[in-house]
Structure 1
Amino acid sequence: MTDSTPISLTPAALLAHALGGRRDVIAVTGATGWFGSVAMDLLYAALGAEAPDRVVGYATRYRQLVVADGRTARIRPLGDLVDAPTSPSMLLHFAFLPRDRIAELGVDAYVSQSITMTTTVLDAIAVHRPRQVVVSSSGAARPLTGNTLAVLPHHPYGTLKRLDELALRAATHEVGGCCVIPRVFSVGGSRIARPDVFALAGMIGMARAGGPIDVRARGPAYRTYCGVDEIVALSIWAAVSGHDTTFDTCGTVVEMGELAHVVAQEHGLAPDAVHRTWDAGAPADRYVGDGRVMESLAARAMLHLRPLDVLVRASSASVAARV
């Protein structure tokens, strides 16, 4: 009797399958950030002993990154990318100044530093002519309307992300490459951090401390969550497979109060551990994309997308592993 159960791959298995038999040299920018470090974990797992010779991570300065299997990767300054002695055939661009740096730097310095980073990557694409380019974008990068220069001071993060999309896709096409751009909405999973910035990380931290879990949103707030490793692995698979595309990340739509209850349940807390000040007059906050393209790509790749409770569990385990 044959087993008719559909094959379902983990992100690590999908990436190993996508890169099997290839000899890519892979550059990863933002290698010490969330997406970049998860990419380094996955690539080292997929490529095994060959990883140190085929994967080069870049960040703001020389660093060392301990990947998930315990090996140490040497990280180079981003400025070294353009003159890299071996041209990468695949470029994974995850470097970008976080939104909260705007308050610290001011808009002008934030824009200047961001453009410098983008220019470096554009130069690297022109010099090395990679066949595949993956660029992590954001749900904030909605299509531009009106005068871009007028919008930029008020919404620098989203505007610069959108300009990155346009410029890096055009640069990749100029050298004959395939460009995949995931627009990231809300994520969880391995290496989740920054509870002061990311709601899920904050809720997990409060739950691990025994509660209460305070929901900051006073009105309805809706999000969609998927795994960071799912986005990275699927984007690389799509690029290798020739799917030149921009897609919104997917996930079941969840209201933040519901998310808090899922976190509470996963940590063995009672429903009354969730605290919230409710304002019935507050407008709804809906940060949700159209995940149908990602879902379709995942189905083609046979990638298993974890349900919310499993993703919360994985996120909590990642936090616990670092304590």
Structure 2
Amino acid sequence: MLEAHDLKLLQDKLFEYRAICITGASGWLGKETSDLLLRTLGAEFQDRVTLVTSDGRDIALQAGSFPTISWDSFATSGKFDLILHFAFLNQDKIKLVGHTRFLEINRKITSDVLNVASRNPSGDLLCASSGAASIYPSNLNSNFPYEIYSGIKTEMESRFKTSGTFRNLILMRIWSVSGIYADLGAPYALSSFISQGLRGDSIQVTGPVDSQRTYVNAQEMIWVYIMSLGNIDFNVLDSGGFTISMFDLANLISSSLGNKKVLAKLDTHSALVDYTPDASVFNSLSVNFSLELSKVPEQVELVTKFHTNSEVGIQANIL
């Protein structure tokens, strides 16, 4: 859990960045980042941070509703010292918009960010990539969504790395993340388990008992990435955290919700699918910055407590 002294360290780090931009601010990681910077910058937040969404509609955070600018406005104006870039179509949009359009939109997003960044050659970029780019084949012509997604993420990483546009660049290879703004309707283990548990349903584990994920709290993750700007000599950094099996995660969530009727049903016929990075570098950086990362039980408790508060939890999820 980030404490007051951690936020002070981040505040000092952000001092050099007078104009900050968060793209994809309406997505759940964009909201986690916005919430973190709001907690850190306080009254300066709205003067220094520009939130970007596709349509310019307000976003809801714990502290209230905040204005954003549209993507078109971002692409045609503005000069930023730090861009925190989360805008991207995920693999579930391939079926919705079509294969060709999916690639076109994501390539345009990358081009727009590069164009905006070129207005400030001394600016920095934190860009969200995915662990999928590490473990799945990169094939833009594939019929498999994860291979297409891996391909377009790999292409995006290459364009940013070879652009020469940024003073400091970190490509955040994000694996499994927890947070209060996570969409409980998303088809990911932690969100799905909590959603099922809140309904009082049995938690469905669709992989074998040994299938593993490595979880880190979203705001702690972003904190480490920002603190790493200018402090590491490489530009691709896997997220870290703590590894847990899906069976243990299901039972941990069941216990956290205090619902003895929630049971894990295991499909032991599925192939073992681990989604675990080499977390050693990220975890070492957190130690170097004197941040104690939240362990998985603490992460689960934070998320389940937030979502059992129906007024705050539901509002933050819907908007």
Q: Structure 1-normalised TM-score?
A: 0.87
Unaligned runs of 5+ in 1: 1-8
Q: How does 1:7-156 map to 2 (within 5 A)?
A: 10=2, 13-20=5-12, 21-70=15-64, 72-85=65-78, 87-142=79-134, 150=141, 155-156=147-148
* CA distance in 2 between partners of 1:295 and 1:315 (Å): 21
* Correspondence 1:322 to 2:313: yes
Paired residue for 2:182, among 192, 196, 202? 192
Per-residue displacement from partner, 1:166-186 (whole Å, max 9, x unpaired)?
212333xx2351011221111
- Report if the CA contact (8 A) 2:124-2:166 is conserved: no
Question: Any conservation in 2 of the 1:207–1:263 contact (CA below 8 Å)?
Answer: yes
Change (3 A) 1:272 1:23: closer
Whether the 8 Å contact between 1:133 and 1:180 is mirrored in structure 2 is: yes
Q: Name the counterpart of 1:250.
A: 240
Q: Deviations over 1:229-283 (max 9, x none)?
A: 111111111115465532211233222111101111111233872222322xx42
Partner AA of 2:302 in structure 1:
A
Counterpart of 2:317? Answer: none
Q: Deviations over 1:58-85 (max 9, x none)?
A: 1111110133322x32111122224334
1-structure distance, mates of 2:143, 2:8: 40
Deviations 1:106-146 (A, max 9, x none): 21111111111111111111123352210011001128978
Question: Which amino acid is the alignment partner of residue 313 of structure 1?
Answer: E
For residues 170 and 148 of structure 2, the distance between their equivalents in structure 1, rounded to whole angstroms, comes to 23
Q: Percent identity?
A: 23
Q: Secondary structure at the match of 1:121?
A: helix
Matching of residues 215-230 of structure 1 within 5 Å? 215-217=205-207, 220-230=210-220
Partner in structure 2 of residue 5 of structure 1: none
Secondary structure at the aligned position of 1:247 is classed as strand
C-alpha distance in 2 between matches for 1:197 and 1:272: 18
In 2, the alpha carbon distance for the partners of 1:143 and 1:270 equals: 36
Partner of 1:3: none
**3-state secondary structure, aligned to 1:180:** strand
Displacement after TM superposition at 1:195 (Å)? 2.8
Which TM-score applies when normalising by structure 2?
0.88
Determine if contact 2:203/2:262 at 8 Å carries over to the other structure.
no
1:180 equivalent to 2:170? Answer yes
Aligned AA (2:276): V
Letter in 2 for 1:236: I
Letter of the aligned partner of 2:10 in structure 1?
A
Given the alignment of the two structures, is residue 283 of structure 1 paired with residue 271 of structure 2, yes or no?
yes
Q: Kindly indicate whether residue 261 of structure 2 is the aligned counterpart of residue 268 of structure 1.
A: no
Question: For the residues of structure 2 that align with 1:153 and 1:277, how far apart are their CA atoms?
Answer: 23
- Root mean square deviation, CA, Å: 2.4
Q: Cα distance 1:27–1:152, how it changes in 2: closer, same or farther (>3 A)?
A: farther
Amino acid at match of 1:214: Q
Aligned counterpart, 1:299: 287
In structure 2, how many angstroms separate the alpha carbons of the residues matched to 1:278 and 1:40? 40
Q: Is the 8 A contact 1:213 1:273 kept in 2?
A: yes
Per the alignment, residue 297 of structure 2 pairs with: 309
CA distance in 2: counterparts of 1:266 and 1:177, whole angstroms: 44
- Alignment partners' CA distance in 1, 2:256 and 2:4: 24
For residue 205 of structure 1, the aligned residue among 195, 213, 216 is 195
Offset, 1:13 = 4.7
Aligned-pair CA distance for 1:27: 0.7
Q: Please tell me whether the aligned partners of residues 265 and 271 of structure 1 are also in contact (alpha carbons under 8 angstroms).
A: no
User: Could you tell me whether the CA contact under 8 Å between 1:14 and 1:237 is conserved in 2?
Assistant: no
Letter in 2 for 1:79: D
Q: 5+ unaligned residues in a row in structure 2: which ranges?
A: 315-319
